[in-house]
A and B are shown apart, each in its own frame.
Chain A
């Protein structure tokens, strides 16, 4: 009888250990359809606006400022979600004006006023891939319905 009791205690301890392990590894938020849609929409809008960068920045200043605000909203939305540090870091890199992705591109457009066609085309490809890393991570997250 004591033997079975000892075995059961060991099994319960094992289960508790693995449960704790799972809890400690739960550092990635669950899938959010809103975050996914936000990233897809902003990808399309950003690539579209970038294609006008071979024209004067002054003509598109308003559109750029509007898009920057939308990007900041997406960043803040990511930052406000629990266990979402990795996605937040991705948004930070993408919109940072001191880096060389979307934020840096708009800064450079503003500074240079007109950018070359090849540079714009190549940056569109890089920025497209950058958005895909955000979208790819979001779509890889566990759907809350799977946890039930």
Chain B
């Protein structure tokens, strides 16, 4: 007869496997997106500074672009927030599956 401790042990092992598979993948995605945004912003700033020096951009243009980039960063952050919530939903869904699966595996 399996005990409740057997169930907890199975559940713990399955949750560890689940967390390792899912959380690492999401952490990598988030870092990749964040780094790409910073790299692009740096290149934009270099180009705008050159444009300002060459007279292709006015001070007002330059300032507007900088503020535009800030607004874009806010929209990007909202996208990441939304995607994170979707991932959390998927993960909690997965955890529920692990709990049920572990219970069935132990007791049935």
Contacts and interface: CB of A to CB of B under 8 A. Distances in A.
Interface of A: 3, 6-7, 10-11, 14-15, 18-19, 21-22, 25-28, 86-87, 89-90, 93-94, 99-101, 104, 108, 115-119, 122-123, 125-126, 129-130, 133-134, 136-137, 140-142
Contact of B76 (A21, A122, A133, A142): A133
A89 B78 contact: yes
Given A18-B96, A116-B57, A140-B83, A100 B68 contact: yes
B79 A122 contact: no
A137 B4 contact: no
B75 interface: yes
Interface of B: 4, 7, 44, 47-48, 51, 56-58, 61, 64-65, 67-72, 74-76, 78-79, 81-83, 85-86, 88-90, 92-93, 95-96, 99-100, 103, 107
B71 A130 contact: yes
B86 to A, nearest CB: 5
Residue among A10, A11, A15 facing the most chain B CB atoms (10 A cut-off): A11
B75 A133 contact: yes
A94 B83 contact: no
Contact of A133 (B70, B72, B107): B72
A90 B75 contact: yes
A130 to B, nearest CB: 5
A interface majority secondary structure = helix
Contacts of B93: 22
Given A116-B61, A142-B86, A101 B81 contact: no
Nearest to B33: A136
Contact of B79 (A6, A90, A101, A123): A90
A12 B34 CA distance: 40
A119 B61 contact: yes
A36 to B, nearest CB: 14
A3 B83 CA distance: 42
A135 to B, nearest CB: 9
B85 A101 contact: no
Contact of A86 (B64, B81, B107): B81
Closest 8 CB pairs of A and B: A100-B67, A100-B68, A118-B56, A86-B82, A133-B79, A119-B61, A133-B75, A18-B96
